[in-house]
Structure 1
Amino acid sequence: MLVVSTEEVFHEFSSGKLDPTALRDYARYLYQKKPGTLKYLLLFGDATYDYRNILKENQGKSFVPVYESRESLHPIYSYSSDDYFGFLEDAEGEWSEDYAGDQTVDIGIGRLPVKYLSEAKQVVDKLMHYEDPATRGTWQSKCTFVADDGDYNVHAEDAERLVQFLEKTPYQAEKIYLDAFPQIGTGLDQKSPKANEAITSAMNDGRLLVAFAGHGGVSGWTQEQILMLRDILGWRNRDHLPLFLTATCEFGRYDDPGVVSGAELALLNAQGGAIGLITTARPVFASSNSLVSEAFMKAAFQPINGVLPRLGDLIRQTKNNSLAGRINRNFALLGDPSMRLAYASDSLKIQSPDTLRGGGQVTLSGSTSFDGEGWLEVYDQEKTYQTLGDENPKFSYKDRKSLLYKGKISITQKQFSSSFILPTSLETGSGRALIRVYAQATDGKRSALGIARPFINGKNSTPITDHTAPILSLYMNTDDFKNGGETDDSPILFAQLADNSGLSYTELNPISAVLNDTLTINLNSYYFPESNKLGQVIYPFKHLPPGSHRLQVQAYDVFGNRVNQSIEFYVVPSTKTYLRNVTAMPNPFTQKARFTFEHDFQDDDTEITFYLYDLSGRLLHQQSLQSYVTPSPYEDLVLEKPELNTGLYIYRIFVRSLSTGRSLTGGGKISYIK
């Protein structure tokens, strides 16, 4: 590994002038000096289109130059690109910026867009934490594919093609297609809180990869706001960070010093977000997005000399296998190119019966290369679903959502075995089930993943007889809770379940709850098995209104025997009056400032009012906005180009819940430089 400063490179290769070509020439010098040794180039610093440092936003920040296209006005055909530093072969270096300039990248290039020493330290700590064996878990086996609606379903079709690449591997695909979720509002004012919740849930649970295709911008995804900056600020998934692939416009713009894009924010988030992003710095076309995304999926799960690729290998292969003139140059890796994703390091073999049947006992066995523990999941056959057809005709796709069994296994002498009874509530007809086992070594340093696809068809010819319902006990927050007792406004439901035959969490017979006879909640994802006969539901409620509430919980065993139990509790009104984590960025500011804060009105529509005062208390500026219901308690607003003189100012932010009328306030001081 070799670390050099930009000043050293400029001194040797551009007579001290700030020149991107100096970086490229230095990389070529190393590339030729000892052929085959230079593999990756990490650009450790943010970038700016302002090479001459004319803008005030550039002052005091760390910048590593980026190549800026000769075309600077056209929104599509202008671009910034780090690819230039990887054109290292003979006769390369003058970029014609058209199809004739479709030169291949010879090394893997990534960038960490940090501006300050504090940001650099946070990102490095985050990268090191990602390598900690204590962070490993089942999230390593899961990938999420998000698709926008409209455009004649082209984004969902693109996502389906990406999923097909994953089906050849033991990794699991989750589909979040916007048109499969209900939307509120009309026309350009439509929003999709449920799709937003699904993305938030995926981030909280952890994913190896999150891929998005659709419309977007520097501040989020889709017109329906399924992902916004406030969501990114609220991510607290430090122990299970995904790589993002965002085939959308400008989400990763990293060469504008006055803007912190959503991609940059996800990478710089010290408490969560992303471990890296392959993202875009300018507007892009759906056709080239598809080329890039497919090239990525071909490379992401294809071993190189028996080992899955590092991020630098991944971006290099993706770029070289999706050449399309200047258009694919807008994609960049924001991340460490020498890092490898948290792939499962070992393989795992599963022996299962040829055919599974409902109501019958199943015994599985298998082997891997270490001792430890594992997590077993059995899914029913695929089922055809349709989107809602909000903007275009309904789109049909297949998905595997019905979980038949999940449980822990012990691996001893590199072998494991598990027995359980399948539920009788299966999909009709014959198809392929899916069995997946994720395993982890005792020391946490190795993991393995394996799948089997036996047939599944009908019920067992000699079913086991069981007419006894499961045992269910409920409490809120603590196990000494008394029915009808008091809770805070965000209590946690604990539901302990036991059944001698096993519990059901299929689509047909899920674990569910009904709050106040109106809101139905599927609890399958919140069930945590302790064995194949015993487990616990842990479900967090958020910001319930004060007063009495009644909750009914229902569960089935594998033979369809049902238990139903209710619990009552009284929510005590919150006495909090202040916003949390109120910050202003940048501070001081010159053109615009972004204010972020956390409130207690999650899942409420809110009214936000912003006031700016001088030091004498005179009101200088006021603005209001309404924020639609969101599962994130984080919000943000922007103050842009105010008519102010250089100086220190006071700001206040008021947030009012439109459902309860409660208000919270917060504020601080901010400096403006004209």
Structure 2
Amino acid sequence: MFLPSFLFSQSSILSTGDWIKIGVIKSGIYKLDKNFFQDNNVDYNLINPSTIQIFGSGYNGSLPQKNNLSTLFSPKQLKISFYGNNNNVFEDNEFVYFYAQSSDKLVYDSLNNKTQYDNNIYTDSSFFLLTYNQSSGNRVDEIDNGIHYDSLSDEVFHFSYFEEDTYSIIQSGRDWFGSVYSPNEIKSFDILNYVPYSDLNIELQFLSRSLSDSKFSISINDEFIDDIELQKITEGVYGNKGLLTFKNLHYKVGGNNPSKMQISYSGSNSSLAYLDYFTMSGKIKLSYQNDQLKYFTRPSTFKNFVKFKIESNDEVSVWNVTDLYNVYSYKIVNESDNLFYISNIKNYTSNIIFSLDDLLIPEFSYKISNSNIINHLNPDLIIITNKLFYDYANRIKMLREKKDNLVVDVVLVEDIYNQFSSANPDVSSIRNFIKYVYNTSLENLKYVLLFGDCSYDFKDRIPNNTNFIPIYQSYNSTNNIYSFSSDDYYGFLDDDEGEWIESIDGDHYLDVGVGRIPVKTRNEASAYIEKLVRYSDKKNLKGDWKNDIYLVADDGDNNVHQNDAELHFNLLNNNNKSFNINKIYLDFYEQKLIDGIKTSPKTKVLLDEAIDRGSLILNYVGHGNEFLWTEEKILNENSIYSWNNRMKLPLFITATCEFGKFDDPLITSGGEMLLNKSNGGAIALLTTTRPVFSQTNFRLNNQFYKYVFKKNNGEYQRLGDIFKNTKNNSLSGSINRNFALLGDPSMKLAYPNYSVNTETIDTLKALGKVIIKGQIYDYNENIIDDFNGDLFVDVFDKIVSKQTLGDESDPFTFYEWENKIFRGFAEVKNGNFYFEFVVPKNIEYKYGTGRMIFFATDTTSFLDASSSNDFIIGGTSDDFDDDTTPPTIDIFLDSYDFISGNSVSKDPLLIVDLFDLNGINITEINPFHTMRAIVDDTIEIKLNDYFITSKNEYKQGVIRYPLNGLEIGKHKIEIKVSDTYNNLSSKSVVFVIDNNNLFNLYNLMNYPNPFSYETTFSFDHDSGEQPLFIHLEVFDLRGTKLYHYEEILEYSNSHVDGIIWNGNDMNNNILPQGIYIYKLHVKNLYDNSSITTFNKMIKTY
């Protein structure tokens, strides 16, 4: 790659000096005098006016999308004029004046010989950077074109435009529409005095949202000009919600100057349309009427120099502003009380006439802090955030530098705007910064994290907008399928990429992995970082849940979703055998009609249980929207609220419509809820932001599984690498871009560090005793002799064929490792392990391939190991004991202090201890011998998946199962279990849930503790989803109240988190280090019950 030398070892012009951000709404000549500075609390006495400099983005309008080597990496200086003396002191009558163009782009189209206009989608104001006391500013020079000319003229061309950006019709895309019309509505627009009998060119664009024929009619001064027939849209969820119609009109101006253009609309009563924009261009007299006038001249092939006559009673100036950064003035001469200037019109010129008495005043925005973002280290990861989240972004920086040895830069988006677009918000300035770092780091940059939410509204038209770090919006703004928003734009870093034509021909490849954490508040930022910190520490990830993957599939649509999930399973089953692949296929379970609405209670319960048990990846394929999965709502907002899986966070893959939509400030999507949920949810999501197609869903989802377990140099890839490779190998025009990575692209999933090796396994037979020996290996197949900890093993009979019910489509056949014959727990000592068990009687006796899946954890280092081993299973052992004794059962609730008849908590934990000389049967082949609980003789609960043996002891083990949702009162629970010889045993107990257990608080804590500058309070409760009043108070050891906090939670999760205290008292004074007591009072607003509890914390410096 060719890299220009100027890219290296630069210091930003913004790194020193005083800088001020100023803005303008319209194009014109602006002035800066002492009053401007004084009115904005800047001491003009400290300013040498001759040193004032003004910088812009270097571009006309918004930045170009296309990458190229001429991209500017620094603000570009404008030319200015100074009115005053040269004594270097700001005096009353002195000022600087300069030309500033509006945020919109005006360009000359030489092919069609006309001026064109491009609305700036990012900002209505055009911003510039002002500095002083550094060096003299560039000056506007006067050009003297002599006295010779080819013709004399007092006519020039004028261009005007009208556009209102008020409505986004599908809350997607970059185009907003304004000036809405209902049937029979007429609107008038003022127009200039054009030269009589000259040609006036009018371009108009309208948007139709009507299902029937409709039209606009155009008149000037009540003279009918033309009708414009609009296209009508068709009904449908995914059709165009609006159709554009463009019209170019040519009007011959009459003898009287036109003053009004009328636009009227007609159609059926339900018709609706918008005026997108109109432009006008035509000849006017070059006349100054006490107001600045911008005009242009068209190139002439016959004349070079034209002498222009100016009609004016005032002293005026004329500046050529064709090149915004090379403005110059014309020499004006007075001949017989007439003003003239000579201009070369061989090429197009843009000019402005003004008087020093009508100069405009720019808006003062704020003083800018010094920054030097172009002089950086060679980062692996860039975190782009704004001031609200800056300290939290730095916590991620510290985490990745400490845990992963990555080089990380945290950069404020405001600093990027200042450096790369002179303070103008623009997604291309962010992309240009990333490309700059990518190039200057010699492509070392691998990951970009956008830390903050975004919005489809760049201009803050929506109340409480959340456009912290903007997202790229598509050109298509009228079709829900083909319109998209995407952070992928920030990863297109090759030269000449970026234009991103919205077709397959416009596909680009990601060069870095881009992810976003779409937090809206500091509480959300804190909650997610706490999750990230927990997930990044192996000691918080105990258990073999990390060895599970769940595939969840919708029904209907000719089984396409279940078939896609099954293809994912085949890929995993063949290439990643060390993972337990669990399936929740909707059509496998009975559905019920409740009040005419389809539901699937069993599927919903299984999904909730999957979350509770934990998994590395949970993958959903099927129908959905921003808030739910499937028509049967197996996942909805209430589901997410109820989950409490804070230590078992999966990566969610949601191949469904819009579930991860994060650029609409008026909603919080399910994907956002999962990511920002403090006590659970997801650690990250690969999710959809708009409607999608099942075919492209599958292509991307399938590529994900080709990369998620792929290693480079023996190391698993980070999430950003996986996302980048997944995207690049599943390109499909704009459809593919609707998938986003929500989460930290620099994180790794909780992969195992090592592998488990077993010695040769003989054929397993029913009732035979099996002995397994093995070792923990590193990836060079060396025994890790200091690995000491626990090994979990799942042993499966042969894979089985199953069939769905065929509720909405034909029955569907799928395969599953369903018949688990043993789930064990063994000790690993010095890298070696040993365990034994008895194969149950309930197996499929035909010989075939079974599978063992191992997962081990070192209890000191918390490093993991996993693998699988296929073996032959079938037949009956020739050597087994006679056994007619059933297993023994001991039942407890909440604790081992329980005895039958006791009162228990509202949602008690069921604990069942089991023992049998030949082990416990956990198979599901024979329903009569399935391990189960029966509550109140009616509710049956399968417990097979909740049993595990004791360490190194297959003869005994324990069931732990949460009994949620039982009513107040007395209950009975019966446990039925068989041993491996099918000897059945049962036992029952009774228990009471009473009113005294309606409301309890648990786990009141603050973290970090000790803390220095900020701490977060959290607690758990069992009041369900009822509204709570929270009152938190902080005291010193003398009992003086220092701080209090109150909040009403209209809807409370069982875990409350995110109450942040900055360590200051109620007067915002910083408190000294020491021990402090805090008191939490919580009142249930449903039944007025309440509880108070205390804890202590330590504040340090």
TM-score scaled by length of structure 1: 0.84
What is the match of residue 26 of structure 1?
Answer: 433
What is the match of residue 4 of structure 1?
Answer: 411
Deviates more, 1:179-188 or 1:227-236: 179-188
Report Cα offsets for 1:258-287 as digits up to 9, x if no partner. Answer: 111110111101111101001111000011
What is the match of residue 619 of structure 2?
Answer: 211
Secondary structure at the aligned position of 1:190 is classed as strand
What is the match of residue 326 of structure 2?
Answer: none
Partners of 2:869 and 2:746 in 1: CA distance = 33
What is the match of residue 931 of structure 2?
Answer: 511
- Alpha carbons 2:887, 2:979 under 8 Å: kept: yes
- Alpha carbons 2:1000, 2:1023 under 8 Å: kept: no
- Alpha carbons 2:918, 2:955 under 8 Å: kept: yes
Of residues 819, 826, 832, the one that matches 1:402 is 819
Deviates more, 1:439-448 or 1:62-71: 439-448
What is the match of residue 81 of structure 1?
Answer: 486
- Alpha carbons 2:772, 2:835 under 8 Å: kept: yes
2:935 paired with 1:528? no
Partners of 1:149 and 1:90 in 2: CA distance = 45
Partners of 1:82 and 1:287 in 2: CA distance = 22
What is the match of residue 977 of structure 2?
Answer: 555
Using the TM superposition, give the Cα deviation of residue 543 of structure 1 relative to its aligned residue in structure 2, in angstroms: 3.3
2:988 paired with 1:566? yes
Gapped regions of structure 1 (runs ≥ 5): 581-596, 609-631, 635-653, 656-662, 667-674
Deviates more, 1:415-424 or 1:187-196: 187-196
Of residues 150, 153, 164, the one that matches 2:559 is 153
- Alpha carbons 2:823, 2:947 under 8 Å: kept: no
Deviates more, 1:382-391 or 1:440-449: 440-449
Gapped regions of structure 2 (runs ≥ 5): 1-407, 778-783, 1003-1019, 1028-1052, 1056-1083, 1090-1101
- Alpha carbons 1:345, 1:446 under 8 Å: kept: yes
Using the TM superposition, give the Cα deviation of residue 34 of structure 1 relative to its aligned residue in structure 2, in angstroms: 2.4
TM-score scaled by length of structure 2: 0.52
Partners of 1:448 and 1:575 in 2: CA distance = 42
Partners of 1:292 and 1:569 in 2: CA distance = 51
Q: For residue 472 of structure 2, what is the amino acid of its counterpart?
A: Y
Using the TM superposition, give the Cα deviation of residue 356 of structure 1 relative to its aligned residue in structure 2, in angstroms: 0.5
Secondary structure at the aligned position of 1:201 is classed as helix
Partners of 1:416 and 1:243 in 2: CA distance = 31
Report Cα offsets for 1:55-112 as digits up to 9, x if no partner. Answer: 2221xx5610100001112100100001111111111121112111111111100001
Report Cα offsets for 1:280-321 as digits up to 9, x if no partner. Answer: 110000111011101111111111222111010011001100
2:685 paired with 1:263? no
2:478 paired with 1:70? no
Report Cα offsets for 1:390-424 as digits up to 9, x if no partner. Answer: 11111111111222112211122211111211111
Partners of 2:566 and 2:540 in 1: CA distance = 30
Partners of 1:478 and 1:140 in 2: CA distance = 27
Q: For residue 48 of structure 1, what is the amino acid of its counterpart?
A: S
What is the match of residue 223 of structure 1?
Answer: 631
2:965 paired with 1:543? yes
Report Cα offsets for 1:228-260 as digits up to 9, x if no partner. Answer: 111112221111111111100000111111111
Secondary structure at the aligned position of 1:495 is classed as strand
Using the TM superposition, give the Cα deviation of residue 192 of structure 1 relative to its aligned residue in structure 2, in angstroms: 1.2
What is the match of residue 144 of structure 2?
Answer: none
Q: For residue 506 of structure 2, what is the amino acid of its counterpart?
A: G
2:541 paired with 1:121? no
Report Cα offsets for 1:616-669 as digits up to 9, x if no partner. Answer: xxxxxxxxxxxxxxxx989xxxxxxxxxxxxxxxxxxx99xxxxxxx8689xxx
- Alpha carbons 1:467, 1:561 under 8 Å: kept: yes
Using the TM superposition, give the Cα deviation of residue 551 of structure 1 relative to its aligned residue in structure 2, in angstroms: 2.5
Deviates more, 1:221-230 or 1:401-410: 401-410
Deviates more, 1:183-192 or 1:245-254: 183-192
Partners of 2:907 and 2:997 in 1: CA distance = 13
Q: For residue 900 of structure 2, what is the amino acid of its counterpart?
A: N
Partners of 1:50 and 1:555 in 2: CA distance = 60
Using the TM superposition, give the Cα deviation of residue 219 of structure 1 relative to its aligned residue in structure 2, in angstroms: 0.7
Alignment CA distance shift 1:418-1:94 (3 Å) = same
Partners of 2:907 and 2:814 in 1: CA distance = 36
For residues 552-631 of structure 1, the aligned pairs below 5 Å read 552-573=974-995, 576=998
Deviates more, 1:182-191 or 1:427-436: 182-191
What is the match of residue 868 of structure 2?
Answer: 451
Partners of 1:314 and 1:234 in 2: CA distance = 30
Partners of 1:447 and 1:3 in 2: CA distance = 32
Partners of 1:179 and 1:664 in 2: CA distance = 40
What is the match of residue 352 of structure 2?
Answer: none
Deviates more, 1:464-473 or 1:65-74: 464-473
- Alpha carbons 2:906, 2:998 under 8 Å: kept: no
Q: For residue 418 of structure 2, what is the amino acid of its counterpart?
A: H
Secondary structure at the aligned position of 1:263 is classed as helix
2:888 paired with 1:471? yes
Alignment CA distance shift 1:601-1:387 (3 Å) = farther
2:449 paired with 1:42? yes
Using the TM superposition, give the Cα deviation of residue 448 of structure 1 relative to its aligned residue in structure 2, in angstroms: 0.6
Alignment CA distance shift 1:64-1:350 (3 Å) = same
What is the match of residue 291 of structure 1?
Answer: 699
Partners of 1:516 and 1:527 in 2: CA distance = 22
Using the TM superposition, give the Cα deviation of residue 36 of structure 1 relative to its aligned residue in structure 2, in angstroms: 2.4
What is the match of residue 647 of structure 1?
Answer: none
Alignment CA distance shift 1:85-1:601 (3 Å) = closer
- Alpha carbons 1:545, 1:573 under 8 Å: kept: no
- Alpha carbons 1:352, 1:363 under 8 Å: kept: no
Partners of 1:489 and 1:330 in 2: CA distance = 43
Report Cα offsets for 1:425-453 as digits up to 9, x if no partner. Answer: 11242221111110112323421101111
Using the TM superposition, give the Cα deviation of residue 119 of structure 1 relative to its aligned residue in structure 2, in angstroms: 1.8
- Alpha carbons 1:159, 1:213 under 8 Å: kept: yes
- Alpha carbons 1:296, 1:314 under 8 Å: kept: yes
Q: Which has the higher contact order (CA 8 A, sep 6+)?
A: 1
Partners of 1:45 and 1:25 in 2: CA distance = 19
- Alpha carbons 2:947, 2:959 under 8 Å: kept: yes
Of residues 553, 559, 570, the one that matches 1:164 is 570
For residues 84-123 of structure 1, the aligned pairs below 5 Å read 84-123=489-528
Alignment CA distance shift 1:496-1:331 (3 Å) = same
Alignment CA distance shift 1:437-1:576 (3 Å) = closer
Give the number of the structure whose alpha-carbon radius of gyration is greater.
Answer: 2
Alignment CA distance shift 1:476-1:9 (3 Å) = closer
- Alpha carbons 1:578, 1:665 under 8 Å: kept: no
Secondary structure at the aligned position of 1:327 is classed as helix
Secondary structure at the aligned position of 2:737 is classed as helix
Q: For residue 29 of structure 1, what is the amino acid of its counterpart?
A: Y
Using the TM superposition, give the Cα deviation of residue 575 of structure 1 relative to its aligned residue in structure 2, in angstroms: 7.5
Secondary structure at the aligned position of 2:410 is classed as coil
- Alpha carbons 1:112, 1:336 under 8 Å: kept: yes
Alignment CA distance shift 1:549-1:54 (3 Å) = closer
For residues 335-346 of structure 1, the aligned pairs below 5 Å read 335-346=743-754
Deviates more, 1:123-132 or 1:534-543: 534-543
What is the match of residue 623 of structure 1?
Answer: none
Aligned-residue Cα RMSD (Å) equals: 2.7
Report Cα offsets for 1:489-509 as digits up to 9, x if no partner. Answer: 533333221111111111033
What is the match of residue 385 of structure 1?
Answer: 802
Using the TM superposition, give the Cα deviation of residue 484 of structure 1 relative to its aligned residue in structure 2, in angstroms: 3.6
- Alpha carbons 1:62, 1:115 under 8 Å: kept: no
What is the match of residue 671 of structure 1?
Answer: none
